[in-house]
Amino acid sequence: MIRIVLALMALSFTAVLMAELRAEEAPKPAPVATPAHTRVVITTSLGTVVVELFDDEAPATVANFLALAEGEKVFTDPTTMMEAKRPFYDGLIFHRVIKGFMIQGGCPLGQGNSGPGYKFKDEINAKSLGLDKEMAMVGEDLNPQCAYMQRDFMRVVLRPKMEAMGITDTSTMEQKQKTFEAVLKDARALSLQDFYEKLGYVYDSTLPPSHKPMRGFLAMANSGPGTNGSQFFINLGDTPHLAGKHTVFGKIVVGMETVDAIGAVVTADGDRPTVPVVIQSIRREKAAVK
């Protein structure tokens, strides 16, 4: 009996050893290459910042930013309404600074109301941000991420459904209330992505995962869906409520203290610094910044 047990143990050991040898001989999958990210140096009147751009997550946004920064792209100069081709950002200012929130620049007129004369689409993977899973409503209220968008929610979600159910300005208050309750019930099934898409945002699930706009990250400023141009902002704090509404295309890797210094300047009406903070240049990094 003992001999049989020993024989079985020997066979089991041999089988395990052979399996391990075969596993070692099997070809191992090639390591996934980490995409190369372009780095740029933003030189300002208050110091230097190095930014790592997300070439893979937002390729068109990064390409536009680089081309404008280095004078490789034609734009319309809003002061002359003529075409120009020069380093776009050189000499512009951070026209809007909100302490604890963000610093914003890239407006050729320095007022926050102009750009390069064209607009381009957002580059956001909403699913990677979880917007397809997070509900637009939490209980009886809007999700905290969109609580400030009550008018938009009424405009694109509630009112169209109420009108489709026959509610007009002449409907009685009782009719409006009854219909509103029915519509609100359906609205609770909407995700944040559903809500934002009704506002006009277009998402691309084929893009790599997007980043949320958090402290130290760069994102495109806009006036709504698909209105990107040249203006961008750098977060001084986390702003998860802006996820899905702004293309995040880079992060600060050196010089966050400079960003914080800009964020601490004295401002006047319109969050405009009383002493201009100038973007002297934005160029690709050619050597390590010490």
Q: Where in the chain is the domain with CATH 2.40.100.10?
A: 39-127+205-284
Residues in the chain where the model's pLDDT stays below 70: 1-35, 287-290
Tokens for 50? 């190095």
pTM of the prediction? 0.86
**CATH number of the domain located at residue range(s) 39-127+205-284 in this protein:** 2.40.100.10
CA distances from 249 to 3, 179, 232, 252 (A): 69, 43, 10, 11
DSSP state of 213: -
Residue 23 has what pLDDT? 52
Residue 195 has what pLDDT? 98
From 84, 34, 93, 39, select the one nearest 66 (Cα to Cα): 39
Contact assessment for residue 135 and residue 157, using Cβ atoms and an 8 Å cutoff: no
CA distance 72 to 180: 53
Residue 46 has what pLDDT? 98
Contact assessment for residue 112 and residue 96, using Cβ atoms and an 8 Å cutoff: yes
The identity of residue 113, as a single letter, is N
Question: What is the total residue count of the chain?
Answer: 290
Residue 31 has what pLDDT? 55
Sign of the dihedral through C-alpha 15, 16, 17, 23: positive
Residue 25, exposed/middle/buried by CB under 10 A (0-12, 13-18, 19+)? exposed
